[in-house]
Amino acid sequence: MLKLLKKALQVGDATVKYPFKPLEVAPCFRGKPVYDFSQCIACGACADACPSNAITMENDSKRGVVSWKINYGRCIFCGRCDEVCPTGAIALSEEFELAAARKEDLYCQAEIQLCECRSCGEYFAPSRELDYVLAYLEQVGLTDYDNKEWKQLMKLCPECKRKQRAAQWVHGQGARRKA
């Protein structure tokens, strides 16, 4: 018995004072994914990567918005969303107290504007995502700064872009034949 008491005294406290004191979590702890609306470009990478479908996205082409939503009740804290997000809009935190009295409190959602095709008027891609791509292309020097035509092409939906490119090609062929 004395031996056991001695051992217990040597080991010290094996329990923590939580919830009366905040609990310190381990480095790289995988807690609640926190979403930053201001950084989100609605690219959908997190929704594609999420293995439990906790993150979902839905286009509303009538209102011209894409809805982003996370259901913390489905999250398994794998961190895939954090890994794939290109802008850091979603990142795992150290928060683990996720109990909620109402189901709705487990949701976080946002709406992001879609870009309207300048030819047919259809909504086709998140405006923020297009701006992000344009800024990236400029940053890496893959754009011709004097030629604004490619920028206009980015504002066309895939179908109108295809038609415009086809029309340009036919026009180019005609000009070559005349020459």
Contact footprint for ligand SF4 (CB under 6 A)? 33, 40-46, 49-50, 52, 54-55, 68, 70, 75-81, 84-85, 87, 89-90
Q: From the CB of 116, what's the least distance to ligand SF4, in Å?
A: 20
Measure the CA–CA gap between 143 and 155, rounded to whole angstroms: 15
Q: Please enumerate in sequence order all residues whose Cβ is within 8 A of that of 19, keeping only pairs 6 or more positions apart, or say none.
A: none
Q: From the CB of 112, what's the least distance to ligand SF4, in Å?
A: 8
Residue with smaller CB distance to ligand SF4, 128 or 155: 128
Sign of CA dihedral 23, 28, 33, 39: positive
Type of residue at 140: V
Q: From the CB of 64, what's the least distance to ligand SF4, in Å?
A: 17
Residue with smaller CB distance to ligand SF4, 26 or 175: 26
Q: From the CB of 156, what's the least distance to ligand SF4, in Å?
A: 22
Q: What is the DSSP letter of 125?
A: E
Residue with smaller CB distance to ligand SF4, 37 or 169: 37
- Return the residue matching tokens 């092409």: 153
Residue with smaller CB distance to ligand SF4, 66 or 160: 66
Q: Are 107 and 32 a contacting pair, CB within 8 Å?
A: no
Give me the half-sphere count of Cα atoms (radius 13 Å) on the Cβ side of residue 119: 14
